[in-house]
Amino acid sequence: MGLALITGASSGFGAEFARLFAADGHDVILVARRRDRLEALAKELEEAGRVRAHVIALDLGKPDAVPTLMTTLEAQGLDAVSSW
C-alpha cells in the first residue's frame, strides 16, 4: 500500500503511529535510538499483518543524523523515500 517512515518509533506516539500505519497496510521504517525496542516492535507488526518493518537504530539528535539516515535508507534499498 505504501511506506511510512516513523521517527521516535521505540515508544510512545512513535510506536503507536507505527501500529496505526501497519494496521492500514503500510510497510514501515522504524527509526529511534533503541534497537532492541525497534526490533521488538518490528516483530510485533510483521506478525500481526502482511507488512514489512525496517529497523534503523539512529539518534536523530546528532548533527549528522539526516545524512546518515539517507545513506542507510539507500543502502537498504529504501532510497525512494528521498523523493518525498
Q: What is the residue-level pLDDT of the chain in tens, covering all 84 positions? A: 789 999 999 999 999 999 999 999 999 999 999 999 999 999 999 999 889 999 999 999 999 999 999 999 999 888 655 444
Whether the predicted model's global pTM rises above the 0.85 cut: yes
- Record the cell numbers describing residue 24, joined without a space: 492500514
Instruction: Tell me the longest C-alpha to C-alpha distance in the chain.
Output: 35
Collapsing DSSP states into helix, strand and coil, what is residue 61? coil
CATH 3.40.718.10 is right for the domain spanning 3-77: no
